[in-house]
Amino acid sequence: ETGVTQTPRHLVMGMTNKKSLKCEQHLGHNAMYWYKQSAKKPLELMFVYNFKEQTENNSVPSRFSPECPNSSHLFLHLHTLQPEDSALYLCASSQESGGAPFFGPGTRLTVL
Amino acid sequence: RKEVEQDPGPFNVPEGATVAFNCTYSNSASQSFFWYRQDCRKEPKLLMSVYSSGNEDGRFTAQLNRASQYISLLIRDSKLSDSATYLCVVKPGGYQKVTFGTGTKLQVIP
């Protein structure tokens, strides 16, 4: 595997479900990110991790919970989501925090 | 004023045409600039960095105007495959995060 991979690619969940999104980067980068992209809106940065430490949380609701066990893996745990949380969730990495991010293919999430 | 502003378009141009997009940014301390391309329902991909003196990559030319705080992307001899949304990205100095514009949609028509 090369680049940034994400699983699952598509996810449909009910508002009471709990699920996790997984991201893995094979680029040797030190920073990892979660972005949200909704229809007709700009990319929204959710979380930033630098060397496994969370350095930014952009007022994201607590129903989204990130986890970064090491510099190569990033998770986004989801619980009691709302229909308005339906979006494309993109994981990205960069050599250092703030560098031009390299994106994974994204997880298209639908909350029913 | 938004941190990064782009005309959403769409820009509909015929094959072979030259098209240019501008992007303005509000933070005068911004130090790095990039153009990304995003195809429909795909992730954004880095197209090119933008250097102070301007730079060219094949049919694509990027320029920076620090005095007026804008960057531009020029595409010559447009191809059908250039149809996509082009995102302007601005980075302040140090370890601060990059900021994405909303994107400009380009449709190249036969």
Query: Residue B94 pLDDT > 90, yes or no?
Result: no
Tokens representing B95? 């370890």
How far is residue A71's CA from residue A14's CA, in Å, rounded to a whole number? 31
Q: Tell me whether residues A42 and B89 touch, CB distance under 8 A.
A: no
Output the pLDDT for position A76: 97
Of A21-30, A42-51, B34-43, B76-85, the poorest mean pLDDT is in: A42-51
Which of A25, A88, A103, A108 would best serve as a mutation to test chain B binding (most B beta carbons within 10 A)?
Answer: A103
> What mean pLDDT is predicted for residues B60-83?
96
Output the pLDDT for position B95: 65
Q: Tell me whether residues A100 and B49 touch, CB distance under 8 A.
A: yes
Output the pLDDT for position B36: 97
Query: Residue B29 pLDDT > 80, yes or no?
Result: yes
A41-56 pLDDT, tens digit each:
889 999 989 887 887 7
> What mean pLDDT is predicted for residues A16-23?
95
Output the pLDDT for position A1: 58
Output the pLDDT for position A75: 97
Output the pLDDT for position B30: 86
Judge contact between A90 and A5, C-beta under 8 A: no
A60-74 pLDDT, tens digit each:
999 999 999 998 999
Q: Is A60 exposed, middle or buried (0-12, 13-18, 19+ CB in 10 A)?
A: middle
Query: Residue B2 pLDDT > 90, yes or no?
Result: no
- Name the residue facing A42 among B94, B96, B100 (closest C-beta): B100
Residue B109 at interface with chain A, using a CB cutoff of 8 Å: no
Output the pLDDT for position A88: 96
Please state whether beta strands B11-14 and A87-94 pair in parallel, antiparallel, or not at all (unpaired). unpaired
Q: Residues B43-76, buried b or exposed e (16+ Cβ, 10 A)?
A: bbeebbebeeeeeeeeebbbbbeeeeebbbbebe
Query: Residue A57 pLDDT > 80, yes or no?
Result: no
How far is residue A12's CA from residue B74's CA, in Å, rounded to a whole number? 40
Judge contact between B25 and B3, C-beta under 8 A: yes
The per-residue pLDDT of chain A, averaged, comes to 91
Residue of B104, B44, B89, B47 whose CA lies nearest to A90 = B44
- The alpha-carbon gap from B110 to the nearest alpha carbon of chain A, in Å, equals 26
**A15 contact partners, CB below 8 Å, separation of at least 6:** A80, A81, A82, A83, A111, A112
Q: Tell me whether residues B98 and A100 touch, CB distance under 8 A.
A: yes
A93-112 pLDDT, tens digit each:
998 766 789 999 999 999 99
Q: Residues B22-38, buried b or exposed e (16+ Cβ, 10 A)?
A: bbbbeeeebebbbbbbb
Task: Mark which residues 60-89 of A lie under 8 Å from B by CB.
Answer: 88
- Name the residue facing B34 among A45, A100, A103 (closest C-beta): A100
